[in-house]
Amino acid sequence: LVAALGMAPRSRPGSHGKASSEELLAFGANGDGQCGFADRAITSSVARSAALLPRVREVRQAACGASHVCVLTASGDAVVAGANDYGQLGTGDLVARQAPLHVRALSGLVVTQVSCGDQHTLLLAAPGHVWAFGSNYAGQLGLGIEAARGKHATPKALTRGNVRGVVCGGNHSILLLGDPSDGPACAVAFGSNAFGQLGSGRDGGHDEGAGVPIKVSAKVESAAAGRYHTLLIIEGGVWGCGRNVS
Protein backbone atom coordinates (compact mmCIF):
# COMPACT_ATOMS: atom_id res chain seq x y z
CA LEU A 1 0.00 0.00 0.00
CA VAL A 2 1.58 3.24 -1.09
CA ALA A 3 0.64 6.69 -2.37
CA ALA A 4 -2.89 6.85 -1.00
CA LEU A 5 -1.57 6.10 2.49
CA GLY A 6 0.46 9.27 2.35
CA MET A 7 3.61 7.61 1.06
CA ALA A 8 5.95 8.99 -1.55
CA PRO A 9 7.42 6.64 -4.20
CA ARG A 10 11.17 6.24 -3.89
CA SER A 11 11.99 3.93 -6.76
CA ARG A 12 10.88 3.32 -10.32
CA PRO A 13 8.78 0.29 -11.24
CA GLY A 14 11.08 -2.65 -11.77
CA SER A 15 14.00 -1.08 -9.95
CA HIS A 16 15.70 -2.69 -6.96
CA GLY A 17 16.01 -1.25 -3.51
CA LYS A 18 16.23 -2.14 0.15
CA ALA A 19 13.20 -1.53 2.36
CA SER A 20 13.76 -0.05 5.79
CA SER A 21 11.51 -0.72 8.80
CA GLU A 22 9.41 2.26 7.71
CA GLU A 23 8.78 1.03 4.18
CA LEU A 24 6.05 -1.18 2.78
CA LEU A 25 6.40 -3.14 -0.45
CA ALA A 26 3.38 -4.11 -2.56
CA PHE A 27 3.45 -6.25 -5.69
CA GLY A 28 1.37 -8.84 -7.55
CA ALA A 29 -2.12 -8.85 -9.02
CA ASN A 30 -3.92 -5.53 -8.58
CA GLY A 31 -7.24 -6.02 -10.37
CA ASP A 32 -9.18 -5.01 -7.26
CA GLY A 33 -6.65 -2.47 -5.99
CA GLN A 34 -5.30 -4.89 -3.40
CA CYS A 35 -1.77 -3.57 -3.82
CA GLY A 36 -2.96 -0.10 -2.89
CA PHE A 37 -2.36 1.36 -6.36
CA ALA A 38 -5.23 3.03 -8.22
CA ASP A 39 -3.64 1.87 -11.49
CA ARG A 40 -5.15 -1.58 -12.17
CA ALA A 41 -2.63 -2.18 -14.94
CA ILE A 42 0.10 -2.85 -12.39
CA THR A 43 0.96 -6.56 -12.51
CA SER A 44 3.32 -9.02 -10.88
CA SER A 45 6.19 -7.70 -13.00
CA VAL A 46 6.11 -4.44 -11.06
CA ALA A 47 7.34 -3.79 -7.54
CA ARG A 48 7.30 -0.41 -5.85
CA SER A 49 8.63 0.79 -2.53
CA ALA A 50 7.53 3.85 -0.64
CA ALA A 51 8.50 5.65 2.53
CA LEU A 52 5.80 6.43 5.04
CA LEU A 53 5.21 10.10 5.72
CA PRO A 54 5.22 11.23 9.36
CA ARG A 55 1.42 11.46 9.52
CA VAL A 56 1.09 7.70 8.94
CA ARG A 57 4.05 6.61 11.06
CA GLU A 58 5.28 3.04 10.91
CA VAL A 59 3.33 0.15 9.53
CA ARG A 60 3.36 -2.56 12.18
CA GLN A 61 1.67 -5.42 10.36
CA ALA A 62 0.25 -6.31 6.95
CA ALA A 63 -2.16 -9.13 6.08
CA CYS A 64 -3.42 -10.36 2.71
CA GLY A 65 -6.65 -12.09 1.78
CA ALA A 66 -7.52 -13.54 -1.61
CA SER A 67 -7.96 -10.06 -3.14
CA HIS A 68 -7.88 -7.62 -0.22
CA VAL A 69 -5.32 -6.33 2.26
CA CYS A 70 -5.29 -4.77 5.71
CA VAL A 71 -2.34 -3.01 7.37
CA LEU A 72 -1.94 -1.72 10.91
CA THR A 73 -0.17 1.51 11.72
CA ALA A 74 1.83 2.32 14.83
CA SER A 75 -1.08 4.40 16.12
CA GLY A 76 -3.35 1.35 16.09
CA ASP A 77 -5.35 2.23 12.97
CA ALA A 78 -6.48 -0.34 10.42
CA VAL A 79 -6.14 0.57 6.73
CA VAL A 80 -7.71 -1.54 3.98
CA ALA A 81 -7.80 -1.83 0.19
CA GLY A 82 -8.93 -4.20 -2.53
CA ALA A 83 -11.97 -6.37 -3.17
CA ASN A 84 -15.00 -5.85 -0.98
CA ASP A 85 -17.70 -8.04 -2.49
CA TYR A 86 -18.24 -9.78 0.86
CA GLY A 87 -17.69 -6.72 3.05
CA GLN A 88 -14.16 -7.85 3.89
CA LEU A 89 -12.90 -4.26 4.11
CA GLY A 90 -15.26 -3.37 6.96
CA THR A 91 -16.42 -0.16 5.27
CA GLY A 92 -20.14 -0.79 5.70
CA ASP A 93 -20.68 -1.36 1.97
CA LEU A 94 -19.65 -3.79 -0.77
CA VAL A 95 -17.66 -1.32 -2.88
CA ALA A 96 -14.07 -2.24 -3.76
CA ARG A 97 -11.37 0.28 -2.89
CA GLN A 98 -8.46 0.87 -5.27
CA ALA A 99 -7.07 3.45 -2.85
CA PRO A 100 -6.41 2.52 0.79
CA LEU A 101 -8.65 3.95 3.50
CA HIS A 102 -9.05 3.68 7.25
CA VAL A 103 -11.72 1.46 8.80
CA ARG A 104 -13.75 4.29 10.30
CA ALA A 105 -16.02 2.02 12.33
CA LEU A 106 -13.02 1.15 14.49
CA SER A 107 -11.82 4.72 15.04
CA GLY A 108 -10.80 5.22 18.64
CA LEU A 109 -9.74 1.59 19.13
CA VAL A 110 -6.13 0.50 19.30
CA VAL A 111 -5.86 -2.43 16.88
CA THR A 112 -2.93 -4.68 17.70
CA GLN A 113 -3.22 -7.55 15.23
CA VAL A 114 -4.92 -8.39 11.94
CA SER A 115 -5.48 -11.54 9.91
CA CYS A 116 -7.24 -11.98 6.56
CA GLY A 117 -8.97 -15.04 5.14
CA ASP A 118 -10.08 -15.42 1.56
CA GLN A 119 -13.01 -13.03 2.03
CA HIS A 120 -13.04 -12.22 5.74
CA THR A 121 -10.99 -10.21 8.23
CA LEU A 122 -10.38 -10.45 11.98
CA LEU A 123 -8.88 -7.63 14.01
CA LEU A 124 -7.64 -7.85 17.59
CA ALA A 125 -8.01 -4.65 19.60
CA ALA A 126 -6.76 -3.85 23.09
CA PRO A 127 -7.46 -5.22 25.59
CA GLY A 128 -8.12 -8.58 23.94
CA HIS A 129 -11.35 -8.04 22.00
CA VAL A 130 -11.98 -9.25 18.44
CA TRP A 131 -13.79 -7.51 15.59
CA ALA A 132 -14.86 -9.48 12.52
CA PHE A 133 -16.25 -8.62 9.09
CA GLY A 134 -16.65 -10.08 5.62
CA SER A 135 -17.99 -13.46 4.53
CA ASN A 136 -19.75 -15.55 7.15
CA TYR A 137 -21.12 -18.25 4.87
CA ALA A 138 -19.25 -20.93 6.81
CA GLY A 139 -19.50 -19.23 10.20
CA GLN A 140 -15.87 -18.08 9.95
CA LEU A 141 -16.58 -14.76 11.69
CA GLY A 142 -17.41 -16.53 14.95
CA LEU A 143 -20.51 -14.43 15.53
CA GLY A 144 -22.56 -17.29 16.98
CA ILE A 145 -25.33 -19.47 15.70
CA GLU A 146 -27.89 -16.68 15.84
CA ALA A 147 -25.90 -14.42 13.51
CA ALA A 148 -26.91 -14.31 9.88
CA ARG A 149 -24.89 -16.23 7.36
CA GLY A 150 -23.74 -14.27 4.33
CA LYS A 151 -22.01 -10.91 4.17
CA HIS A 152 -21.18 -8.62 7.09
CA ALA A 153 -19.75 -5.34 5.82
CA THR A 154 -19.79 -3.57 9.20
CA PRO A 155 -17.31 -4.73 11.87
CA LYS A 156 -18.95 -6.76 14.63
CA ALA A 157 -17.50 -7.49 18.04
CA LEU A 158 -17.16 -11.07 19.21
CA THR A 159 -18.49 -11.78 22.67
CA ARG A 160 -15.36 -13.69 23.70
CA GLY A 161 -12.65 -11.70 25.46
CA ASN A 162 -9.13 -12.41 26.71
CA VAL A 163 -7.93 -13.10 23.16
CA ARG A 164 -4.20 -12.78 22.47
CA GLY A 165 -4.08 -13.80 18.82
CA VAL A 166 -6.23 -14.07 15.67
CA VAL A 167 -5.53 -16.28 12.66
CA CYS A 168 -7.60 -16.64 9.48
CA GLY A 169 -7.55 -19.53 7.03
CA GLY A 170 -9.44 -19.51 3.75
CA ASN A 171 -12.88 -19.94 5.34
CA HIS A 172 -12.02 -20.69 8.95
CA SER A 173 -10.55 -18.80 11.89
CA ILE A 174 -8.58 -19.51 15.06
CA LEU A 175 -8.45 -17.52 18.29
CA LEU A 176 -5.61 -17.91 20.77
CA LEU A 177 -6.86 -17.33 24.30
CA GLY A 178 -5.09 -16.26 27.46
CA ASP A 179 -1.40 -15.75 28.09
CA PRO A 180 0.78 -18.81 27.47
CA SER A 181 3.05 -17.76 30.35
CA ASP A 182 0.13 -18.19 32.76
CA GLY A 183 -0.36 -21.87 31.99
CA PRO A 184 -1.89 -24.04 29.26
CA ALA A 185 -3.27 -21.73 26.62
CA CYS A 186 -6.45 -22.56 24.77
CA ALA A 187 -7.11 -22.22 21.07
CA VAL A 188 -10.59 -22.30 19.56
CA ALA A 189 -11.59 -22.50 15.90
CA PHE A 190 -14.73 -21.82 13.86
CA GLY A 191 -15.81 -21.80 10.25
CA SER A 192 -15.39 -24.43 7.55
CA ASN A 193 -14.28 -27.87 8.68
CA ALA A 194 -14.50 -29.62 5.32
CA PHE A 195 -11.01 -31.12 5.73
CA GLY A 196 -10.78 -31.18 9.52
CA GLN A 197 -8.96 -27.84 9.66
CA LEU A 198 -10.70 -26.87 12.92
CA GLY A 199 -8.78 -29.52 14.84
CA SER A 200 -11.91 -30.85 16.50
CA GLY A 201 -11.09 -34.49 15.82
CA ARG A 202 -13.64 -34.81 13.04
CA ASP A 203 -14.06 -33.48 9.52
CA GLY A 204 -17.02 -32.21 7.55
CA GLY A 205 -19.50 -29.46 8.31
CA HIS A 206 -18.64 -26.21 10.03
CA ASP A 207 -18.87 -24.44 13.37
CA GLU A 208 -20.39 -21.00 13.71
CA GLY A 209 -20.90 -20.85 17.45
CA ALA A 210 -18.53 -20.00 20.27
CA GLY A 211 -15.71 -21.97 18.70
CA VAL A 212 -14.46 -25.55 18.78
CA PRO A 213 -11.62 -26.15 21.26
CA ILE A 214 -8.60 -27.42 19.35
CA LYS A 215 -7.56 -30.69 20.94
CA VAL A 216 -3.97 -30.24 22.06
CA SER A 217 -2.62 -30.85 25.55
CA ALA A 218 0.29 -28.40 25.57
CA LYS A 219 0.60 -24.64 25.51
CA VAL A 220 -0.32 -23.11 22.17
CA GLU A 221 2.25 -20.42 21.45
CA SER A 222 1.16 -19.32 17.97
CA ALA A 223 -0.76 -20.50 14.92
CA ALA A 224 -0.94 -20.18 11.15
CA ALA A 225 -3.57 -21.27 8.66
CA GLY A 226 -3.86 -21.96 4.96
CA ARG A 227 -7.04 -22.33 2.95
CA TYR A 228 -7.73 -25.87 4.17
CA HIS A 229 -5.24 -26.54 6.97
CA THR A 230 -4.00 -25.25 10.31
CA LEU A 231 -0.63 -25.35 12.08
CA LEU A 232 -0.06 -24.69 15.78
CA ILE A 233 3.27 -24.13 17.47
CA ILE A 234 3.10 -25.83 20.85
CA GLU A 235 5.59 -26.83 23.50
CA GLY A 236 7.75 -29.47 21.93
CA GLY A 237 6.92 -28.99 18.28
CA VAL A 238 4.37 -28.22 15.59
CA TRP A 239 0.87 -29.68 15.42
CA GLY A 240 -1.16 -29.71 12.22
CA CYS A 241 -4.62 -30.60 10.99
CA GLY A 242 -6.63 -30.32 7.79
CA ARG A 243 -6.00 -31.20 4.16
CA ASN A 244 -2.70 -32.97 3.51
CA VAL A 245 -2.95 -34.23 -0.08
CA SER A 246 0.14 -32.27 -1.16
Residues 147-171: tens digit of each pLDDT = 778 999 999 999 888 899 999 999 9
Report helix, strand or coil for 178.
Answer: coil
**Whether the Cβ atoms of residue 152 and residue 121 lie closer than 8 Å to each other:** no
Whole-number Å distance between alpha carbons of 195 and 199: 10
Residues 179-222: tens digit of each pLDDT = 656 555 688 899 999 999 988 777 666 665 556 777 666 778 89
Banded model confidence at residue 86, pLDDT cuts 50, 70, 90 = very high
Q: Can you give the pLDDT at residue 12?
A: 36
DSSP-derived secondary structure for 75-87: TS-EEEEE--TTS
Q: Considering the chain, what percentage of its residues have pLDDT values greater than 70?
A: 73
Whole-number Å distance between alpha carbons of 172 and 226: 9
